[in-house]
Amino acid sequence: MKITYNNLEEKIAFEGIILPYFEDCQGNYDSLEVLNSNKLPIDYLKSKDLFSGQKNQIYHLLISNEDRALDLVLTGLGKRENLNGDILRKAVARGYKELKKRKVSSVGIYLHDVKIGLKCNYAIAKNAAEAVVMADYKFNDYKTDNKKECVEKVSILFNDINDNFKNGFNEGISLGKNNILARRLVNEPANILTPEELAKRTIELGKEKGFEVEIYDLEKIQELKMEAYLSVAMGSEKPPKFIIMRYTGDPEGETLGLVGKGLTYDSGGLSLKTTKGMVTMKGDMAGAAAVIGAMSAIAENRLKVNVTAVVAACENMISGRSYKPGDIINSMGGKTIFIGNTDAEGRLTLIDAMHYIVTYEKVDRVVDIATLTGAAIHCLGYDATVGIGNNDEFFKSMDKSFDKAGEKIWRMPIFEEYKELLKHPEADLTNTADSPGTITAGMFIGEFAREIPWIHLDIAGTSGAKKEKEYISKGATGVGVRPLYYLAKDMAKKTR
């Protein structure tokens, strides 16, 4: 699929077109040449309560012109005064998916009338482009007959294509593509996407987008004494890879640190998961995918900020070398840990990654993002990411960043009382602290961020979708990529 923009006046033929309407069908498209003098039956649709431009509504019409058909989709934007980026994205995505289903090969999206609600050309172009790119993706790489639904070209049609519009369009494409990049990584099965393969793909991406990638192999990981990470990785035949990404956009400025959970497979280890629990565990590297996608977007858009990201990639498997329930292990930060359950492995890989990034990469603030606990699903379900953190101002910026991306986050508290739960009589810490499990798991990682502003994001619920909706496909969602990009962008503004 190729996406571009054209001036409204240009005469381009499309097989399908999308017409967005505000509530009460505000929007006038009758004079469009593509309609070939056909009048749209707006009053009829309204009188029958079939379409009135409400948010979430769409209506499909087929116009026949001699030997050709033109598929039209009317898509609702809701009330003019309530329009925001996410409503526009969803309206465009709905329209696009409807046309894709109808096998059109070219799509024109008329957006000039959207201006009466969303005044900014930048926002119109950005959100529409982002929506199309995201809505176009479906995980079918392993289907041998995957060519069925294929839109070849899409154009956004507008009457005021200025630099603002073009910048918005480019950013939208970039964010959409990098969200998909993360979804692709997460959807890859674990027999293909091993730690080594993840490292390889990150190296290639770094070359393409302009960020530095360094990989630490087993020997270097041992030399650095990342013993908690190694305890998890040891049970697998596949060697761990510690991936470091560095982007320098402002040599004098602050550095944002990102840490992504990179379990390319989580069987649970000796505390084995059930078969059902294991089937989706190729996705236990969604945190890694989010930071890789965000790095790619940050570098591609040349943000004036420094960002360093790390991923301690490995598998949690079973063998004679596996770590065991009851073990007491060490960590790079020097704290000892009692292993109550080998399925609580993510936090072990993350504390060494956190200790490393804070100590050796000298980041000024840090975010870790992880499919960490099933309990996160009990907290907020599948639609909102659980966040915790030690700094209100930093969390506000994160809240704003999620909002811009149309993703949801809710902050949980860190109460003094919970700190006791992390302690163990035989070691400094336990990896299986009591309820609230999502908060105590996050706090376990926070111990290693020490004093710097830190946020933990648990995406166990939000990293996968059971069914498709608007611009989200079934399977991986690419959660986190766009919020982390906006977070970096927010920092870039302040340091400039």
The CB-of-285 to ligand BES minimum distance in angstroms stands at: 10
For Zn ion, give the closer residue by CB, 87 or 339: 339
The interface partner of residue 460, options being Zn ion, ligand BES, none and the CB cut-off 5 to 8 Å by kind, is ligand BES
Q: Which tokens is 295 given?
A: 């790095």
For ligand BES, give the closer residue by CB, 284 or 352: 284
The single residue of 225, 273, 400, 411 carrying the catalytic annotation is 273
Q: List residues bridging with 357 in a β-sheet.
A: none
Q: Is 284 in the site for ligand BES (CB under 6 A)?
A: yes
Q: Is 236 in the site for ligand BES (CB under 6 A)?
A: no
Region from 49-57, 339-347, 404-412, 444-452 binding Zn ion, contact rule CB under 5 A? 339-347
Q: Is 344 in the site for ligand BES (CB under 6 A)?
A: yes
The single residue of 209, 347, 365, 482 carrying the catalytic annotation is 347
Q: Is 188 in the site for Zn ion (CB under 5 A)?
A: no
Q: Is 347 a catalytic residue?
A: yes
Among 179, 231, 322, 373, binds ligand BES (CB under 6 A): 373
Q: Is 266 in the site for Zn ion (CB under 5 A)?
A: yes
The CB-of-429 to ligand BES minimum distance in angstroms stands at: 13
The CB-of-71 to ligand BES minimum distance in angstroms stands at: 39
For Zn ion, give the closer residue by CB, 60 or 273: 273
Exposure on the CB side of residue 259, measured as CA atoms within 13 A? 31
Region from 129-137, 291-299, 336-344, 473-481 binding ligand BES, contact rule CB under 6 A? 336-344
Distances (CA, A) of 454 to 237, 387, 393, 450: 34, 10, 11, 9
Strand arrangement, sheet containing 16-21: 2-7, 153-158, 106-110, 16-21, 68-76, 58-65
Among 171, 300, 343, 470, binds ligand BES (CB under 6 A): 343
The CB-of-415 to ligand BES minimum distance in angstroms stands at: 19
Looking at residue 268, its amino acid is: G
Q: Is 460 in the site for ligand BES (CB under 6 A)?
A: yes
Q: Is 470 in the site for Zn ion (CB under 5 A)?
A: no
Phi then psi for residue 488, to 5 deg, are -65, -40
107/196 Cα distance (integer angstroms)? 40
Q: Is 343 in the site for Zn ion (CB under 5 A)?
A: yes
Residue 22 three-state SS: strand
Q: Is 346 in the site for Zn ion (CB under 5 A)?
A: yes
For ligand BES, give the closer residue by CB, 266 or 315: 266
311/292 Cα distance (integer angstroms)? 9
Q: Is 341 in the site for ligand BES (CB under 6 A)?
A: yes
180/376 Cα distance (integer angstroms)? 24
Q: Is 442 in the site for ligand BES (CB under 6 A)?
A: no
Total number of residues that touch Zn ion (CB under 5 A): 6
Residue 416 three-state SS: helix
Q: Which tokens is 331 given?
A: 């960590």
DSSP labels for 133-158? HHHH----TT-TTTTSS---EEEEEE
384/463 Cα distance (integer angstroms)? 10
Among 333, 437, 475, 483, binds ligand BES (CB under 6 A): 437
The H-assigned helical ranges of 188-274 are: 195-209, 218-223, 227-233
- Among residues 377, 412, 359, 391, the alpha carbon closest in space to that of 455 is found at 391
The number of residues in the chain equals 496
Looking at residue 141, its amino acid is: D
For Zn ion, give the closer residue by CB, 77 or 372: 372
The CB-of-381 to ligand BES minimum distance in angstroms stands at: 12
Cα three-residue angle 329-288-243, rounded to 5 degrees = 70
Q: Which residues are catalytic?
A: 273, 347
Question: For binding to ligand BES (CB under 6 A), which residues are involved?
Answer: 266, 284, 341, 343-346, 371-375, 432, 437, 460
Question: For binding to Zn ion (CB under 5 A), which residues are involved?
Answer: 263, 266, 284, 343, 345-346
